[in-house]
């Protein structure tokens, strides 16, 4: 089973690249049992959606 450190690394990597079948399976199994990593997954998804709102936005000084 994955450690939380490895699971969070895979979740972060999964935002940038497709995870392989073995990585996805290991991560799914870990998330079944780990409430903290499920919360992390939710939070990084939320942060990604929020940060997309700032892309292209120009609030800097003129």
Provide the H-helix boundaries in 1-62: 4-16, 21-33, 35-52
pLDDT reading at 7 higher than 80: yes
- Residue 39: inside a domain, yes or no? yes
Report the predicted TM-score, pTM, of the whole model to 2 decimal places: 0.78
The reported pLDDT for the residue numbered 59 is 59
Query: Residue range 22-30: average pLDDT?
Result: 97
b/e map 45-59, b = 16+ CB within 10 Å: eeeeeeeeeeeeeee
CA angle at 21 for the pair 51 and 25, rounded to the nearest 5°: 80
Per-residue confidence at 49, pLDDT binned at 50, 70, 90? confident
The reported pLDDT for the residue numbered 32 is 97
The region, left, alpha or beta by phi > 0 then psi within -120 to 50, assigned to residue 56 is: left
Show the domain range for 11: 4-52
Give me the number of domains the chain comprises. Answer: 1
pLDDT digits (tens, 9 = 90+) for 35-46: 999 999 999 989
- Residue 60: inside a domain, yes or no? no
């Amino acid at each position: 089973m994955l450690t939380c450190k490895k699971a969070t690394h895979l979740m972060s990597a999964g935002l940038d690249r497709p995870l392989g079948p073995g990585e996805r399976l290991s991560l799914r199994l870990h998330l079944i049992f780990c409430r903290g990593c499920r919360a992390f997954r939710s939070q990084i998804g939320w942060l990604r959606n929020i940060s997309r709102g700032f892309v292209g936005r120009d609030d800097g000084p003129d």
